[in-house]
């Protein structure tokens, strides 16, 4: 199949709002976009801002563009456009969040201000990522032990879990210990 014809069909689907075309564009160019955002995002901001939020912002901007503007001749033209949007979004985020003295990334904070700065609600992408990591971790355990881990995640202590699962406390402790060893907690 001709790559140029394939790309033209993909762009036509994108302009038509075809969800399959949107998914395919995200699959093909998502890693490139993520790399561009990370490259342009100020290194001092990375600990305070999830780069995937900026990536999602770029995708929202791209997909919110008028369909007639989604006319790219070739994959390199689309990549160049996405990289330019990534650069502009990274600069915009920097200016919007950290250009004022109040939020200066070079200003050291301490005491109560530091505690407030550390307690920020997780971003949606952080929640998704954490959920995926948790499922991957839980899937390393046999099915019988997964119930222990799920109840642990719900906030139950080891004794409650032992009662709820009809297992001995030593069994629950052993599974929790293995989890701690695997995660380094």
% residues pLDDT > 90 (the chain): 1
Contact present, 72 and 12 (Cβ < 8 Å): no
Q: Angle at Cα 165 formed by Cα 163 and Cα 171, nearest 5°?
A: 85
118: confidence class by pLDDT, cuts 50, 70, 90: very low
pLDDT of residue 46: 65
DSSP type of residue 121: P
Mean pLDDT in residue range 54-64: 80
Residue 90 has pLDDT above 70, yes or no: yes
Q: What is the mean pLDDT of the chain?
A: 77
Fold of the domain spanning 3-118: Rna Polymerase Sigma Factor; Chain: A (1.10.1740)
CA dist., res. 80 & res. 84, Å (int): 6
What b/e string do you get for 121-154 counting C-beta neighbours within 10 Å, with b at 16 or more? eeeeeeeeeeeeeeeeebeebeeebeebbebbee
Domains of the chain by residue range = 3-118, 124-183
92: confidence class by pLDDT, cuts 50, 70, 90: confident
153: confidence class by pLDDT, cuts 50, 70, 90: confident
The pLDDT tens digits for 93-116 are: 767 766 554 545 555 545 454 445
């Amino acid at each position: 199949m001709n790559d140029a014809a394939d790309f033209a069909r993909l762009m036509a689907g994108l302009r038509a709002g075809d969800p399959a075309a949107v998914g395919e564009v995200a699959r093909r160019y998502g890693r490139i976009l993520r790399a561009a955002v990370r490259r342009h995002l100020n290194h001092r901001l990375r600990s305070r801002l999830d780069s995937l939020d900026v990536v999602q912002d770029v995708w929202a901007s791209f997909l919110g563009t008028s369909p007639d503007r989604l006319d790219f001749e070739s994959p390199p033209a689309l990549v160049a456009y996405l990289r330019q949007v990534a650069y502009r979004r990274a600069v915009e985020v920097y200016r919007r969040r950290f250009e004022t003295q109040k939020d200066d990334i070079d200003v050291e904070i301490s005491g109560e201000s530091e505690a407030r700065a550390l307690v920020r609600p997780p971003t949606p992408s952080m929640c998704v990522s954490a959920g995926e990591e948790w499922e991957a971790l839980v899937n390393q355990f046999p099915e019988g032990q997964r119930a222990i881990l799920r109840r642990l995640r719900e906030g139950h202590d080891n004794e409650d879990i032992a009662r709820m699962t009809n297992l001995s406390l030593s069994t629950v402790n052993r599974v929790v210990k293995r989890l701690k060893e695997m995660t380094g907690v």
